[in-house]
Amino acid sequence: MLNVLRMAALAAIVQTTLLPVSYAQLTAAPGGGNKKAAITERIGITDITINYDRPGVKGREGQIWGKLIPVGYVDQGFGTSKAAPWRAGANENTTIEFTSDVKIEGQDLPAGKYGFFVAYDPAECTLIFSKNSSSWGSFFYDPKEDALRVKVKPVALDKSVEWLKYEFLDEKENSATVALEWEKTMIPFKVEVDYVKLQLESFRRELRSSKGFTWTAFNQAAQFCIQHNIDLDEGLAWADQAVNAQFIGQKNFTTLSTKAQILTMQGKKEEADAAMKEALPLAQMTEVHQYARQLLVQKRPKDAFDAFKMNYDKHPDLFTTNMGMARGYSAMGDYKKALTYAQKALPQAPDPVNKANVEKLVTMLQQGKDIN
């Protein structure tokens, strides 16, 4: 009797252990021969990630849009939705995730992960970003969960796209166009981020972390303000930290010239010149050359000539400094002396591209033309 009870208990244990396993699914490719895919792109410092399944045309040309993909909303015969949009892919619902707040076609959408649906129409599609990103397909679509709806016009493609795909097009510093492409139709929508605001906020956080324990970090943040001509007071404070901060500040050409650039943009010429006077003796030859060329852009030919001349005196008769003197004299209107230095630089050209450029400049000077 005892053995019978033991056998019964063992059978119960085995049955209990195996029961859940019998419902587990092995890893396999998506059903229907579709392909699972993901694409991530960064706009500024905002990551956009789309997870989707890729159905194929599979010989159904002309049968996709308006037929396989119905117009508008339909009852799919399963789930709770009686008016469901297309899942914008195959199998599981398509999801799209943003790591910061964005604008979709000019409308605000908070950072987060969304289910992405399309109500197709050949004239104008409705794109739906749903707060529900975990349900299967659009069988349980509920308009009450919509975070945003926008309307866009589909675009006809010249060549057929066999496998549905998402692409990022027309990429800029603060925007890109996301395009759903399948068969001969593209459904595009524009995504924008407030890149400058986000970047400044990120700098403020990171400069207070371990990343801020170096002058290069403060200089990088200050240079961003210069490049975008924004928050120059804060940029100057960062530049000053790069120069003078305890333990990490360094007086070198990079930090001092960055500070000088901001002071110049603020109209503080005397302070800027004082910073550059301190910076120039610390500079490498190429750094002085680039600074002098910046002065030419700023329409300061005399200051540019002085910088080129200082560089030449320190590094005489080299390709870079000979070209600097050619540009400096040309800016001052002395094309004869400029030509002398350009001709000295010609045989020193380090490669065919530079040689061809110098030859062109020599010709311009012979014709009495400014080379800057």
248: domain CATH number is 1.25.40.10
Q: Is the pLDDT of residue 22 over 70?
A: no
Is 172 found in the same domain as 275? Answer: no
Angle at 331 between CA 325 and CA 333, to 5 degrees: 105
Task: Answer whether residue 126 shows pLDDT above 70.
Answer: yes
Residue 223 lies in a domain: yes
pLDDT band at 11 (very low <50, low <70, confident <90, very high): very low
Distance CA(84)–CA(198), nearest Å, equals 36
Let me know if 356 is exposed, middle or buried by CB neighbors in 10 A (0-12, 13-18, 19+): exposed
**Tens of pLDDT along 274-293?**
999 999 999 999 999 999 99
107 phi, psi to nearest 5 deg: -110, 140
pLDDT of residue 27: 73
Residues 152 and 107 in one domain: yes
Q: Is residue 232 part of a domain?
A: yes
Pairwise CA distance, residues 60 & 183, whole Å: 9
For β-strands 175-192 and 102-104, DSSP reports them as antiparallel
Residues 229 and 358 in one domain: yes
Q: Are residues 220 and 189 in the same domain?
A: no
Average of per-residue pLDDT values in the chain: 92
Residue 22 lies in a domain: no
**Top-confidence residue, 3 or 276:** 276
Answer whether residue 20 is part of any domain: no
Query: How many residues are recorded in the chain?
Result: 372
Q: Which residues pair with 178 in a beta bridge?
A: 168, 189
> Beta strand pairing status for 46-54 and 94-98?
antiparallel
In this structure, are 337 and 189 located in the same domain?
Answer: no
- Averaged pLDDT, 159-172: 96
Specify whether 183 is located in the same domain as 218.
no
Residue 21 lies in a domain: no
When pLDDT is averaged across residues 107-121 and rounded to a whole number, the result is: 98
Instruction: For residue 281, give its domain range.
Output: 196-366
Question: Are the C-beta atoms of 357 and 345 separated by less than 8 Å?
Answer: no
Q: Do 343 and 219 sit in the same domain of this protein?
A: yes
Residues 37, 187 contacting (CB under 8 angstroms): no
User: Do 171 and 221 reside in the same domain of the chain?
Assistant: no
104 close to 48: Cβ distance less than 8 angstroms: no
Q: Name residues whose C-beta falls within 8 Å of residue 19's C-beta, 6 or more positions apart in sequence.
A: none
Helix (H, G, I), strand (E, B) or coil at 44: coil
pLDDT (mean) for 146-156? 98
Residue with tokens 């496998």: 163
Q: Are residues 236 and 163 in the same domain?
A: no
At 298, the pLDDT band (50, 70, 90 cuts) reads confident
Determine the Cα–Cα distance for residues 54 and 325; give it in Å rounded to an integer.
Answer: 61
The predicted model gives 179-196 an average pLDDT of 98
Q: Which residue, of 193, 225, 255, is where some domain finishes?
A: 193
- Tokens 């350009």 sit on residue: 342
Answer whether residue 111 is part of any domain: yes
Other C-beta atoms lying within 10 Å of the C-beta of residue 216: 13
Share of the chain above pLDDT 70, in %: 92
| pLDDT above 70: residue 17 | no
State the total domains in the chain.
Answer: 2
User: What separation in angstroms does the CA of 334 have from each of 118, 329, 330, 362?
Assistant: 67, 5, 5, 13
Q: Are 221 and 203 in contact (CB under 8 A)?
A: yes
Q: Is 98 helix (H, G, I), strand (E, B) or coil?
A: strand
Letter for the amino acid at 179? A
Instruction: Let me know if residue 8 belongs to a domain.
Output: no
Q: What is the pLDDT of residue 35?
A: 87
Q: How far is CA 112 from CA 48, 60, 115, 129, in A?
A: 10, 35, 10, 10
Using the predicted structure, report yes or no on whether residue 308 has a pLDDT greater than 60.
yes
94 pLDDT band, cuts 50/70/90, is very high
Task: Indicate if the pLDDT at residue 304 is higher than 80.
Answer: yes
> Is the distance from CB of 276 to CB of 284 less than 8 angstroms?
no
The tens digit of pLDDT for each residue in 29-82 reads: 666 678 899 999 999 999 999 999 999 999 999 999 999 999 999 999 999 999
Q: Last residue of a domain, which of 141, 158, 193?
A: 193
Greater pLDDT, 22 or 125: 125
Do 227 and 81 belong to one domain? no
Evaluate whether 143 touches 35 at the Cβ level (below 8 Å): no
Q: How far apart are alpha carbons 49 and 99 in whole angstroms?
A: 9
Residues 173 and 121 both lie in one domain: yes
- What lies within 8 Å, CB to CB, of 165 at 6+ separation is 37, 54, 180, 181, 182
Same domain, 156 and 205: no
Per the CB < 8 A criterion, the answer to whether 131 and 110 are in contact is no
Taking 60 as the threshold, does the pLDDT of residue 318 lie above it?
Answer: yes
CA-CA-CA-CA dihedral for 291, 293, 297, 300, to nearest 10: 80
The pLDDT score that the predictor gives to residue 26 is 75
39 domain-assigned: yes
CA distances from 328 to 110, 292, 316 (A): 53, 9, 15
Model confidence at 195: pLDDT above 70: yes
The residue with greater pLDDT, 24 or 315, is 315
User: In the numeric block, which tokens belong to residue 258?
Assistant: 């960055």
Tell me which of 193, 224, 239 is where a domain ends: 193
